[in-house]
Chain A
Amino acid sequence: MRRLIIIIAAALLVTARAQAPQPPPIVLSPTIPGDAKITATTVSIDAFQPDFDVYSWNTFIALNWPPGPNGNGDPKQTIGQNGDNDTVWEHYRDVRDVFLPGGKKPSWNGPPQPVPPQCKSLYKPGMRLLSQVGKTPTVLTDSSQPFNTGPIIDQNGIYTRFEILLNKTMFDYILNNSLYSKAGQKVFTPPVKFTCGVLATSGSPGVEGAIMVKSAWKVIDPSEKPTFHSEDVLVYSPASQNPKYAASCSAKTMGLVGLHIAHKTQNASQWLWSTFEHVDNVPTDADVKSGKLKTKYNYYNPACTAANCPPNQIPPRPWNPTKVSSFHSQVVRMNLFNLPIYKASADARNADAWKLLATVNPQSVWLNYELISTMWPTNPSGKCGAAPGDPLGTPAPTFLANTTLETYLQRTPPQPNVSSQCIECHNNATMTVPVASDFTYVLQRAQ
């Protein structure tokens, strides 16, 4: 199996050398890359990681490109040309509209689920609804004990909200295999095998594989709009018994603070995991230790000492997202990386991307987002499959966390099953029946 990757890498190396000159590594393009393009001329983590980080930025740019009428990136427009813009991924299907009550069949262009009664007076056509207060409510919030995790509350005492959306490739697989319902899952013949993306070549346009996007949002003041990708949405909190509160809804301006992009590809059947954050979210552990802090963060108060505000603490219960909390999450990005290349590569690619985005518009909101890293399988087997003896594909980096989505999974030194590890964790996912679900938990939402 190791020989296979060496052969692949050698072949890619020959290809890379044959294709001179190399295209610019990060490009302003609405095309989502079908896979990572390996241009490295040596086989090492140090050499390969930059290629995966370039892939992540190209994917981020394409997904945040202004969409045309068909939902795909509009080549006549450019990301950030007007500062902020509507995005491709926000026209993907929200899982709420895929796994419908009663296991009803969804449709890609169908209307969104009915607006809850509490939201009706506030609703304007096209408005989005954000309701989740955990990354995956059925897994991490409603059944949070195994992960011992909880909500993240910003420096204004407001709960962060989340949503998960699926691209059409992933939606179509779920639809065509009737995996949108418990009944369909029950009669499905395993394995679940989502479509893999394929890199475009001179003779082929490539394939967009299954993509999941998980986003994290915080309430912002309208004056903060120039520094966030923002949306005016309805924030809905369903009624709860413990703690007891009634359903409520409010119209808010929300700023994007975190974005996970997972893409299943030909050379990464374990999916490629790219994670981005707003640059003002949190300081790093090294920033805190050195005292090199910004004056303000979304999830960290630089004026509060570690004794008074211990970092990365789970908010005390009860968790009530309908109220302003006196607890403010004091979040620090811990260093989960065992090799310096991961941060160095992300930093270098961030600088490259920001330079490029600034050429479109120096006021682009997208200049406020940074890649944290890209997790990829170093032993992928290829051909949209995993090596039987190494199904996780020995990921690099071994651990990776987004501070808005895996806030409390940043234990250091990193530990398997405890510290955030995208591929390892998602490898445990199943459907509503005891069948592995190909690295996604969303199929557990089927009704």
Chain B
Amino acid sequence: MTDTPTPAPEADVQDFADMSAALTGFLSSVLKPQLDPVGLARTYYEFALSQVGAQMSTLLTAYRAIKTQPPQTIADTLLETSSATPSAQALLCQSIVAMWYLGAWYIPGNQGGFGFPPTPLQVISSEAYTNGLVWKVMQSHPMGFSPFTFGYWSQVPGPLSSFGVNTGNGGGQ
């Protein structure tokens, strides 16, 4: 018999989604909508927690201390964009951004070599892949799965804002 993991507290998942919104440039209501049949925010938070443990709690504490700041300020602070040698916490934030955009987990700080990007530890799920934010920023879709109707390629895609990009407050730049 295996133990069922205890679900993460909803407040932590919400803070993780709000922090992720600032980090990714998307709206929190897109990353964790009220009507959420997919539940990626919880999936991602619990996955990251399983990978880095207490470091995740420390990161959320750091976020909570600045959560009232504008999204761009939060992103710059947590990602340490002005630093040439980002801390372990900033590297974790990079992995969280990559997780949302690519649906895959990259070990924080793991560098690729010889000009190649690092290899992800794993793609988190098929839905993580199809819901990657990279497709929304591209106003497109992943290979092998399209939410658009036949012939969409002949039409101008909808604006970035219709894909959930926070074009008005620090994102979509």
Interface residues of A (CB under 8 A from B): 1-3, 5-6, 9, 43-45, 48, 190, 338-339, 378-379, 387-392, 394-398, 414-417, 424, 427-430, 434-436
Which residue from chain B places its CB closest to the CB of A427 in the assembled complex? B149
Docked-complex contact B162 and A387, CB < 8 angstroms: yes
Question: What are some 5 contacts across the A-B interface (CB < 8 A)?
Answer: A389-B139, A390-B162, A391-B149, A392-B147, A427-B147
Contacts of A5 in B (CB 8 A): 33-35
Docked-complex contact A379 and B147, CB < 8 angstroms: no
- The dominant DSSP class at the A interface is loop
Q: How far is the CA of A414 from the CA of B37 in the complex (A)?
A: 14
Encode B14-37 as 1/0 by CB contact (under 8 A) with A: 000000000000010110011111
Contacts of A389 in B (CB 8 A): 136, 139, 158, 162-164
Residue B164 contacts which of A1, A43, A395, A436 (CB distance < 8 angstroms)? Answer: A1
Docked-complex contact A339 and B150, CB < 8 angstroms: no
Further pairs besides A5-B33, A338-B38: 8, Cβ < 8 Å:
A2-B164, A44-B34, A45-B37, A190-B151, A378-B33, A388-B158, A394-B33, A416-B145
Q: How far is the CA of A6 from the CA of B34 in the complex (A)?
A: 8
Per the CB 8 Å criterion, the residue count for chain B at the interface is: 28
Docked-complex contact A45 and B36, CB < 8 angstroms: yes
Contacts of B38 in A (CB 8 A): 338, 394, 398
Q: Tell me, yes or no, whether B113 is within 8 Å of chain A by CB.
A: no
Which residues 136-160 of B have a CB within 8 angstroms of A? 136, 139, 144-145, 147-151, 157-159
Contacts of B149 in A (CB 8 A): 391, 427-428, 436
Q: Tell me, yes or no, whether B89 is within 8 Å of chain A by CB.
A: no
Contacts of B33 in A (CB 8 A): 2, 5, 378-379, 394
Nearest CB in chain B: distance from A165 CB, A: 24
Docked-complex contact A435 and B34, CB < 8 angstroms: no
Q: How far is the CA of A1 from the CA of B151 in the complex (A)?
A: 23
Contacts of A394 in B (CB 8 A): 33, 35, 37-38
Contacts of B136 in A (CB 8 A): 389
Contacts of A434 in B (CB 8 A): 150-151
Which of A43, A45, A395: most chain B CB closer than 10 A?
Answer: A45
Contacts of B159 in A (CB 8 A): 388
Docked-complex contact B37 and A2, CB < 8 angstroms: no
Contacts of B35 in A (CB 8 A): 5, 9, 43-45, 48, 378-379, 394, 396
Docked-complex contact B37 and A396, CB < 8 angstroms: yes
Q: Tell me, yes or no, whether B127 is within 8 Å of chain A by CB.
A: yes
Which residue from chain B places its CB closest to the CB of A393 in the assembled complex? B147
Contacts of B34 in A (CB 8 A): 2, 5-6, 9, 43-44
Residue B127 contacts which of A390, A416, A428, A436 (CB distance < 8 angstroms)? Answer: A416
Docked-complex contact B145 and A388, CB < 8 angstroms: no
Which residue from chain B places its CB closest to the CB of A430 in the assembled complex? B150
Q: How far is the CA of A225 from the CA of B110 in the complex (A)?
A: 67
5 closest cross-chain pairs (CB), A and B: A388-B158, A396-B37, A389-B163, A436-B149, A389-B162
Residue A435 contacts which of B27, B29, B151 (CB distance < 8 angstroms)? Answer: B151
Nearest CB in chain B: distance from A427 CB, A: 6
Q: Tell me, yes or no, whether B39 is within 8 Å of chain A by CB.
A: yes
Which of B29, B35, B150, B158: most chain A CB closer than 10 A?
Answer: B35
Which residue from chain A places its CB closest to the CB of B126 in the assembled complex? A415
Q: Tell me, yes or no, whether B130 is within 8 Å of chain A by CB.
A: yes
Q: How far is the CA of A305 from the CA of B129 in the complex (A)?
A: 37
Which residue from chain A places its CB closest to the CB of B147 in the assembled complex? A392
Known: A391-B148, A417-B144. A2 touches B30 (CB 8 A): yes
Which residue from chain B places its CB closest to the CB of A438 in the assembled complex? B149
Contacts of B151 in A (CB 8 A): 190, 434-436
Which residue from chain B places its CB closest to the CB of A378 in the assembled complex? B35
Which of B34, B136, B144, B162: most chain A CB closer than 10 A?
Answer: B34
Q: How far is the CA of A414 from the CA of B126 in the complex (A)?
A: 9
Contacts of A43 in B (CB 8 A): 34-35
Q: How far is the CA of A5 from the CA of B29 in the complex (A)?
A: 11
Which residue from chain A places its CB closest to the CB of B129 in the assembled complex? A416
Contacts of A3 in B (CB 8 A): 29
Docked-complex contact A416 and B130, CB < 8 angstroms: yes
Q: How far is the CA of A391 from the CA of B145 in the complex (A)?
A: 13
Q: How far is the CA of A65 from the CA of B36 in the complex (A)?
A: 35
Docked-complex contact B147 and A424, CB < 8 angstroms: yes
Docked-complex contact A338 and B164, CB < 8 angstroms: no
Known: A391-B147, A398-B38. A416 touches B126 (CB 8 A): yes
Contacts of B37 in A (CB 8 A): 45, 338-339, 378, 394-398
Contacts of A397 in B (CB 8 A): 37
Contacts of B148 in A (CB 8 A): 391, 427
Residue B157 contacts which of A9, A387, A388 (CB distance < 8 angstroms)? Answer: A388
Which of B27, B30, B147, B151: most chain A CB closer than 10 A?
Answer: B147
Which of A1, A6, A389: most chain B CB closer than 10 A?
Answer: A389
Docked-complex contact B127 and A398, CB < 8 angstroms: yes
Q: How far is the CA of A388 from the CA of B37 in the complex (A)?
A: 19
